[in-house]
Structure 1
């Protein structure tokens, strides 16, 4: 296994850190001296690498032997990836049916840092937009998916994710935290969120939560399209279908609520 060097598009320190993780995965536990020898670097360099990884819970030190092993952060990363894949797989048939019924684009998102991350998309028959949003991030405060995710959070977490300036995308974007909090409270009560012209003029989106087996909101499902098709009169009907789809995906994930 190579320690890696800085050439082309690689970064030596990152390459070495990842090599440390692979070494620990292979050997179980290693001391700093052993890691340094295997990487062919000075002991101080190896110490800085494991210390940095330890700060991110990717490695942990055995208190008795002083050796390092993989930390819980690795499990959390793997678990998050598995959960997202499971969500996409279980939501797919539901998303496809919803897209067929409403004729609009259906998206699945999850909370990722301070934004919502698109993890799946299905285009409806009326959708002309061919852009694939999977893998892209959207702001929480200016989208229906984002507001659904915000509605699932504690007050402390809400404050963390909405601190600072809320970016304005259109004249309909909510940039006042108190107003956003009030709208998120309303989302929590009625079970779905609506965003009309908030991210871009002419776009209407309606989202509902997706819950895991323990009732924790793990994502959102939305239907979005142009405002001339999803008119204010049409919103309640689309919302009911989106909410039903969110509950169906939740049941597929083991949720037994109402």
Structure 2
């Protein structure tokens, strides 16, 4: 039996047990039209990974708790995208600018949700699904600043592509920028990826306190000058805190500084 055929049959077994459970080895071998010894080996392998379990010492099989651990990783991403959209909509309504939530994926920041502001002149680009550089974007800097040191070293060891005259292209400058992001709790990109476009981002923490996403706003530089950063960051933090609440992170984070402006209390949906 080939490895691919084994994987296919293992998947069939899981589908069978999802529909009808428990099933004996004999019943599974009959359903798959394979020898009982083949079915027994497949079940033993699935059991070793906690994907199935026996009812009793020599009983029939049912789905195992290992599937819950696998499913939790998927459901977490689904919940993040769904809940992030609600918070993006609320933040965009207040800021009247384009708002995004991005995650770290394979060395890039990838936007999973976006709400476009309704300004006559704005950022109309569709960012959802787009991979953007970590060193030249506000979301990328937030995600990189809170990523493992091995990921930071990997990014700084590679050539830092230049997109505009303002793009950080020096590993030393990037290291200093990431340290500043961690200290102040937010990141900016001032015409670093696109000319005439500024962006701000704050971290979003998951149930265990680790940064799982970045919440950002993007706007033309004339409407998001550096003098307006504090006001926008305060609103982004409020949005990020509401998203964190939805994700199950309830504790106050001692490492995330809050400026005097604070957040816009009650401005974002609780449910």
Q: Distance in 1 between matches of 2:188 and 2:228?
A: 12
Length-normalised TM-score, structure 2: 0.67
Change in CA separation of 1:165 and 1:254 when aligned onto 2, cut-off 3 Å: closer
How many residue pairs end up in the alignment?
A: 241
Larger radius of gyration: 2
Q: Distance in 1 between matches of 2:174 and 2:88?
A: 28
Corresponding residue number in structure 1 for 2:143: 149
Q: Distance in 1 between matches of 2:225 and 2:168?
A: 20
Corresponding residue number in structure 2 for 1:218: 212
Corresponding residue number in structure 2 for 1:158: 152
Q: Structure 1 residue 186 and structure 2 residue 180: aligned?
A: yes
Give deviations 1:226-252, integer Å, cap 9, x for gaps. 111111211221122112221221122
Where structure 1 has 5 or more consecutive residues not aligned to the other structure, the ranges are 1-11, 29-37, 41-56, 60-68
Corresponding residue number in structure 2 for 1:87: 80
Change in CA separation of 1:39 and 1:90 when aligned onto 2, cut-off 3 Å: same
> Which of 112, 115, 120 is equivalent to 1:122?
115
Contact (CA 8 Å) 1:91, 1:249: kept in 2 or not?
Answer: yes
Contact (CA 8 Å) 1:222, 1:242: kept in 2 or not?
Answer: yes
CA RMSD of aligned residues (A): 4.2
Listed as ranges, the matches of 1:1-258 within 5 Å are: 78-126=71-119, 128-160=122-154, 162-171=155-164, 172-252=166-246, 253-258=248-253
SS in 2 for 1:119: strand
Length-normalised TM-score, structure 1: 0.70
**CA drift at 1:17:** 9.7
Where structure 2 has 5 or more consecutive residues not aligned to the other structure, the ranges are 23-30, 34-48, 52-62, 254-271
